[in-house]
Amino acid sequence: MKKYICEFIGTCILVLLGCGSAAIAGSTLGTLGIAFAFGLSIVAIAYSVGSISGGHVNPAVSLAMLINKKISVKDFCGYVVSQVLGSFAGAGILWLIIKFTSLNNVGLGANGYGELSAVGLSLVGALIIEVIATFIFVLAILGVTSNEKNSSVAGLIIGLVLTLIHIVVIPLTGTSVNPARSLAPAVLVGGTALAQVWVFILAPLVGGAIAAFVWRYVSED
Protein backbone atom coordinates (compact mmCIF):
# COMPACT_ATOMS: atom_id res chain seq x y z
CA MET A 1 0.00 0.00 0.00
CA LYS A 2 2.89 2.39 0.68
CA LYS A 3 4.05 1.94 -2.91
CA TYR A 4 0.59 2.78 -4.21
CA ILE A 5 0.35 5.85 -2.00
CA CYS A 6 3.69 7.05 -3.35
CA GLU A 7 2.51 6.55 -6.93
CA PHE A 8 -0.62 8.54 -6.10
CA ILE A 9 1.41 11.38 -4.59
CA GLY A 10 3.96 11.36 -7.41
CA THR A 11 1.38 11.50 -10.20
CA CYS A 12 -0.51 14.23 -8.37
CA ILE A 13 2.69 16.29 -8.21
CA LEU A 14 3.45 15.70 -11.90
CA VAL A 15 0.01 16.81 -13.06
CA LEU A 16 -0.28 19.71 -10.64
CA LEU A 17 3.12 21.21 -11.44
CA GLY A 18 3.59 20.09 -15.04
CA CYS A 19 0.09 20.76 -16.34
CA GLY A 20 -0.13 23.75 -14.01
CA SER A 21 2.85 25.36 -15.71
CA ALA A 22 1.09 25.02 -19.06
CA ALA A 23 -2.33 26.15 -17.85
CA ILE A 24 -1.35 29.03 -15.60
CA ALA A 25 1.94 30.35 -16.94
CA GLY A 26 2.28 28.81 -20.38
CA SER A 27 2.27 32.14 -22.22
CA THR A 28 5.06 33.39 -19.94
CA LEU A 29 7.17 30.26 -19.66
CA GLY A 30 6.89 29.16 -23.26
CA THR A 31 7.74 25.67 -24.51
CA LEU A 32 11.13 25.54 -22.78
CA GLY A 33 9.75 26.56 -19.40
CA ILE A 34 6.89 24.06 -19.53
CA ALA A 35 9.29 21.32 -20.61
CA PHE A 36 11.52 21.99 -17.62
CA ALA A 37 8.50 22.07 -15.30
CA PHE A 38 7.60 18.52 -16.33
CA GLY A 39 11.21 17.35 -16.22
CA LEU A 40 11.97 18.88 -12.84
CA SER A 41 8.74 17.44 -11.46
CA ILE A 42 10.05 13.98 -12.34
CA VAL A 43 13.37 14.80 -10.63
CA ALA A 44 11.51 15.86 -7.47
CA ILE A 45 9.39 12.71 -7.53
CA ALA A 46 12.36 10.42 -8.15
CA TYR A 47 14.32 11.74 -5.18
CA SER A 48 11.35 11.85 -2.81
CA VAL A 49 9.06 8.84 -3.32
CA GLY A 50 11.04 7.06 -6.03
CA SER A 51 12.99 4.93 -3.59
CA ILE A 52 9.74 3.43 -2.30
CA SER A 53 7.69 2.81 -5.44
CA GLY A 54 10.21 3.31 -8.22
CA GLY A 55 8.54 6.58 -9.17
CA HIS A 56 6.78 5.25 -12.27
CA VAL A 57 3.91 7.81 -12.12
CA ASN A 58 3.04 6.60 -15.62
CA PRO A 59 1.06 3.51 -16.75
CA ALA A 60 3.32 3.19 -19.82
CA VAL A 61 6.36 2.84 -17.55
CA SER A 62 4.54 0.38 -15.29
CA LEU A 63 3.51 -1.67 -18.34
CA ALA A 64 7.14 -1.85 -19.48
CA MET A 65 8.19 -2.97 -16.00
CA LEU A 66 5.45 -5.63 -16.04
CA ILE A 67 6.57 -6.94 -19.44
CA ASN A 68 10.15 -7.15 -18.18
CA LYS A 69 8.99 -8.88 -14.98
CA LYS A 70 10.14 -6.08 -12.69
CA ILE A 71 6.70 -5.86 -11.06
CA SER A 72 3.82 -8.32 -10.61
CA VAL A 73 0.40 -8.15 -12.24
CA LYS A 74 -1.03 -7.21 -8.85
CA ASP A 75 1.38 -4.30 -8.45
CA PHE A 76 0.79 -3.22 -12.04
CA CYS A 77 -2.94 -2.94 -11.39
CA GLY A 78 -2.35 -1.16 -8.09
CA TYR A 79 0.12 1.25 -9.68
CA VAL A 80 -2.18 2.17 -12.57
CA VAL A 81 -5.17 2.77 -10.29
CA SER A 82 -3.02 4.91 -7.99
CA GLN A 83 -1.59 6.86 -10.94
CA VAL A 84 -5.02 7.61 -12.39
CA LEU A 85 -6.38 8.68 -8.99
CA GLY A 86 -3.30 10.84 -8.45
CA SER A 87 -3.80 12.45 -11.83
CA PHE A 88 -7.38 13.37 -10.96
CA ALA A 89 -6.25 14.75 -7.61
CA GLY A 90 -3.59 16.91 -9.27
CA ALA A 91 -5.93 18.11 -12.01
CA GLY A 92 -8.67 18.77 -9.47
CA ILE A 93 -6.38 20.90 -7.31
CA LEU A 94 -5.21 22.77 -10.41
CA TRP A 95 -8.81 23.38 -11.48
CA LEU A 96 -9.63 24.71 -8.01
CA ILE A 97 -6.61 27.03 -7.98
CA ILE A 98 -7.55 28.46 -11.38
CA LYS A 99 -11.09 29.13 -10.13
CA PHE A 100 -9.62 31.52 -7.56
CA THR A 101 -7.73 33.52 -10.19
CA SER A 102 -8.76 35.97 -12.89
CA LEU A 103 -7.69 33.54 -15.61
CA ASN A 104 -10.28 32.60 -18.21
CA ASN A 105 -10.40 29.73 -20.70
CA VAL A 106 -6.92 28.43 -19.88
CA GLY A 107 -7.69 24.71 -19.76
CA LEU A 108 -5.71 22.23 -17.68
CA GLY A 109 -2.84 21.35 -19.97
CA ALA A 110 -4.88 18.77 -21.87
CA ASN A 111 -3.34 17.12 -24.92
CA GLY A 112 -4.75 17.28 -28.41
CA TYR A 113 -4.27 17.12 -32.15
CA GLY A 114 -5.90 18.90 -35.08
CA GLU A 115 -7.49 22.08 -33.79
CA LEU A 116 -5.93 21.50 -30.36
CA SER A 117 -2.40 21.21 -31.76
CA ALA A 118 -0.31 24.37 -32.05
CA VAL A 119 0.82 23.21 -35.49
CA GLY A 120 -2.39 21.43 -36.56
CA LEU A 121 -0.90 17.93 -36.29
CA SER A 122 -3.16 15.21 -37.71
CA LEU A 123 -4.52 12.17 -35.88
CA VAL A 124 -2.01 9.85 -37.56
CA GLY A 125 0.81 12.26 -36.77
CA ALA A 126 -0.24 12.41 -33.12
CA LEU A 127 -0.29 8.62 -32.86
CA ILE A 128 3.15 8.32 -34.45
CA ILE A 129 4.90 11.00 -32.40
CA GLU A 130 3.40 9.84 -29.10
CA VAL A 131 4.45 6.23 -29.74
CA ILE A 132 7.99 7.32 -30.69
CA ALA A 133 8.35 9.79 -27.82
CA THR A 134 7.13 7.27 -25.26
CA PHE A 135 9.42 4.62 -26.72
CA ILE A 136 12.42 6.92 -26.26
CA PHE A 137 11.37 7.91 -22.73
CA VAL A 138 10.69 4.38 -21.49
CA LEU A 139 13.79 2.95 -23.16
CA ALA A 140 15.88 5.58 -21.36
CA ILE A 141 14.25 4.62 -18.06
CA LEU A 142 14.91 0.92 -18.61
CA GLY A 143 18.49 1.63 -19.56
CA VAL A 144 19.44 3.96 -16.74
CA THR A 145 17.73 1.86 -14.05
CA SER A 146 19.29 -1.41 -15.23
CA ASN A 147 22.56 -0.65 -13.44
CA GLU A 148 22.58 0.07 -9.70
CA LYS A 149 25.66 2.27 -10.22
CA ASN A 150 23.34 4.82 -11.83
CA SER A 151 20.94 4.98 -8.88
CA SER A 152 22.24 8.31 -7.62
CA VAL A 153 21.74 10.06 -10.96
CA ALA A 154 18.90 8.07 -12.50
CA GLY A 155 16.19 10.55 -11.45
CA LEU A 156 18.10 13.46 -12.92
CA ILE A 157 18.73 11.66 -16.21
CA ILE A 158 15.09 10.59 -16.55
CA GLY A 159 13.94 14.14 -15.81
CA LEU A 160 16.26 15.56 -18.47
CA VAL A 161 15.08 13.03 -21.05
CA LEU A 162 11.47 13.98 -20.33
CA THR A 163 12.42 17.65 -20.67
CA LEU A 164 13.99 17.00 -24.07
CA ILE A 165 10.92 15.14 -25.26
CA HIS A 166 8.64 17.96 -24.14
CA ILE A 167 10.72 20.59 -25.93
CA VAL A 168 10.12 18.78 -29.23
CA VAL A 169 6.59 17.43 -28.74
CA ILE A 170 4.77 20.26 -26.90
CA PRO A 171 4.03 22.16 -30.15
CA LEU A 172 2.71 18.95 -31.70
CA THR A 173 0.38 17.43 -29.09
CA GLY A 174 1.18 19.16 -25.80
CA THR A 175 3.16 16.00 -24.97
CA SER A 176 1.53 13.09 -23.23
CA VAL A 177 3.84 10.03 -23.08
CA ASN A 178 1.73 9.23 -20.01
CA PRO A 179 -1.90 8.01 -20.12
CA ALA A 180 -2.60 9.03 -16.51
CA ARG A 181 -1.27 12.56 -17.05
CA SER A 182 -3.59 12.94 -20.07
CA LEU A 183 -6.78 11.36 -18.76
CA ALA A 184 -7.72 13.62 -15.84
CA PRO A 185 -7.21 17.00 -17.59
CA ALA A 186 -9.20 15.75 -20.59
CA VAL A 187 -12.08 14.55 -18.42
CA LEU A 188 -12.26 17.82 -16.49
CA VAL A 189 -11.93 19.98 -19.62
CA GLY A 190 -14.34 17.84 -21.65
CA GLY A 191 -15.32 18.57 -25.25
CA THR A 192 -12.74 17.91 -27.95
CA ALA A 193 -9.97 17.15 -25.46
CA LEU A 194 -12.05 14.32 -23.98
CA ALA A 195 -12.99 13.01 -27.43
CA GLN A 196 -9.31 12.84 -28.40
CA VAL A 197 -7.89 11.46 -25.16
CA TRP A 198 -7.96 7.86 -26.39
CA VAL A 199 -4.95 8.70 -28.57
CA PHE A 200 -2.96 9.77 -25.52
CA ILE A 201 -3.88 6.60 -23.67
CA LEU A 202 -3.28 4.14 -26.49
CA ALA A 203 -0.13 5.56 -28.10
CA PRO A 204 1.95 5.82 -24.89
CA LEU A 205 1.02 2.26 -23.89
CA VAL A 206 2.08 1.00 -27.32
CA GLY A 207 5.32 2.98 -27.15
CA GLY A 208 6.06 1.71 -23.66
CA ALA A 209 5.40 -1.90 -24.65
CA ILE A 210 7.66 -1.64 -27.71
CA ALA A 211 10.43 -0.17 -25.55
CA ALA A 212 10.07 -3.06 -23.09
CA PHE A 213 10.39 -5.72 -25.78
CA VAL A 214 13.29 -3.94 -27.48
CA TRP A 215 15.13 -3.54 -24.18
CA ARG A 216 14.57 -7.21 -23.32
CA TYR A 217 16.03 -8.21 -26.69
CA VAL A 218 19.11 -5.97 -26.64
CA SER A 219 19.93 -6.56 -22.96
CA GLU A 220 19.73 -10.35 -22.98
CA ASP A 221 22.99 -12.30 -23.19
Domains of the chain, each with CATH number or no CATH: 2-219 (1.20.1080.10)
pLDDT of 199 higher than 90: yes
Confidence (pLDDT) at 147? 86
Confidence (pLDDT) at 130? 98
pLDDT of 87 higher than 80: yes
Q: Across the chain, what does the average pLDDT equal?
A: 94
Confidence (pLDDT) at 193? 95
Tell the burial category of 124 from Cβ atoms under 10 Å away from its Cβ (0-12, 13-18, 19+).
exposed
Span 152-160, average pLDDT = 94
DSSP string, 69-115: TSS-HHHHHHHHHHHHHHHHHHHHHHHHHHHTSS--S---S---SGG
pLDDT grade for 124, boundaries at 50, 70 and 90: very high
Span 67-82, average pLDDT = 95
Confidence (pLDDT) at 169? 97
Span 102-116, average pLDDT = 88
Tens of pLDDT, residue by residue over 24-47, are 887 789 999 999 999 999 999 999
pTM over 0.85? The answer is yes
Confidence (pLDDT) at 112? 96
Total residue length of the chain: 221
pLDDT of 104 higher than 90: no
pLDDT of 201 higher than 90: yes
Cα three-residue angle 97-108-204, rounded to 5 degrees: 135
The C-alpha atoms of residue 181 and residue 173 are separated, in whole angstroms, by 13
Cα three-residue angle 130-44-3, rounded to 5 degrees: 85
